[in-house]
Amino acid sequence: MYAYFHKTPLDQQYYQKHISHRLPWQIVDAHCHFNLPEHVKNVTQESILNDWALESGLLMSYDDSLLYSRALFPDRAVECVMLPWPLRDADTKANNRYISSLITNEHPRGLYTVRPEYAVETIEQEFQDGRFCGFKPYPYMASAVKGAEISIFDFMPRQHLALANRLKAPVLLHLPRAGRLPDPDNVTEIRTILMDYPDVKLVIAHFGRCFHHEFFQKALAEFGSDIHSLWFDTAAVLNPRVYQLAFDHLDYHKILFGTDAPIMLWHGKREWKNGSYYNLCREDFGWNLHPYPEQEAEYTFFIYEQLNSLLNAIGGSESVLEAVFGRNAQAVYQPFGGC
């Protein structure tokens, strides 16, 4: 468990005032990364320090996740959709085996990380033996550059998509390219996947990396009616206007709550300027320039800020709350045998 993770009286007050009374009793966090130190021992310190997300949180065992969940949601039952760390330098096979070992009746949903060089026969055998219920490809498997100008098919080849289609398994897709979800090439390739692999439930992580509302507004226009063939998770998204656009234009059954733990366990906020976002944080990470030190004592957990934005967009509808915070993920990521 990270030493910087500490729940304060302010966090408790914020939770009681803004969060607790609005959450369903049972929650499914549809985007959590689990691993052990030995799985990422080859990830260099240079790589970690060059990526704010990795510096913020690279490790989370199952036992640690229970401690985090109990602190963040002390009065709720939390289940996680368990993802390995999809990094090129990670021990993917060992990390996949670890996720498989965690799949139980209580926590039945784990995703299998694929590498583009994996043979289809190997993937299918390990997927079925491990009782996984979905696939997690990642751009880092093709390029270590965040937002690299690469094709989706570079890290999730067509033969892997064909397997997912045959198995009727969901694919949680993190998008490449600086243009994010509305990038013309991403739009074209996503439409190709929808057309050529119709039995794949395509879940777009982080609202297609639309952390700023301008990207999501543009994506809605670019995709037109095809946007309704996609699912989206909320991992690491905080912008209230993104959430408002989502609930104004999407079927709420296509939105899955997710945190991206262990990355977002610190205290902070986010601000948006000129199409970009900036993380504000209390903890002393190397990337944190402390632009507003006088405000930091008032920061609560970033995840609580995310929840407040999401809950405000949903309003008081019990059916929408239960869907977004659990039933949608349960429907998409069905336990092994239901995929």
Over the stretch 172-202, which tens digit does the pLDDT of each residue have? 999 999 999 999 999 999 999 999 999 999 9
Question: In whole angstroms, how far apart are CA 12 and each of 30, 90, 304?
Answer: 24, 36, 10
pTM: 0.97
pLDDT band at residue 18 under the 50/70/90 scheme: very high
Q: Which is nearest to 171 in space by CA: 157, 186, 150?
A: 157
Domains of the chain plus CATH, in order, are 9-137+148-332 (3.20.20.140)
Q: Say what the alpha-carbon torsion angle 241, 243, 249, 250 is, to the nearest 10 degrees.
A: 160
Average pLDDT estimate for 222-232: 98
Closest CA to 73 of 306, 311, 304, 281: 304
pLDDT of residue 147: 85
**pLDDT attached to residue 146:** 83
pLDDT surpasses 80 at 339: no
pLDDT at 338 over 60: no
Q: Find the farthest-apart pair of alpha carbons in the chain and give their distance in angstroms, rounded.
A: 57
* Percentage above 70 pLDDT, the chain: 99
Average pLDDT over residues 299-313: 98
**Which pLDDT score, from 0 to 100, does residue 274 have?**
85
Rounded average pLDDT over 308-337? 96
Confidence band, pLDDT 50/70/90 cuts, at residue 267? very high
Q: What is the mean pLDDT of residues 158-177?
A: 98
Question: What distance in Å separates the CA atoms of residue 160 and residue 153, rounded to the nearest whole number?
Answer: 9
**Residue 256: both structure tokens together:** 């899955």
| pLDDT above 90: residue 127 | yes
Residue 213 has pLDDT above 70, yes or no: yes
pLDDT (0 to 100) of residue 275: 83
Tokens 């289940």 belong to residue: 79
Q: What is the pLDDT of residue 204?
A: 98
Residue 113 pLDDT class (50, 70, 90 cuts): very high
- Band the pLDDT of 303: cuts 50, 70, 90: very high
User: What is the pLDDT at residue 144?
Assistant: 84
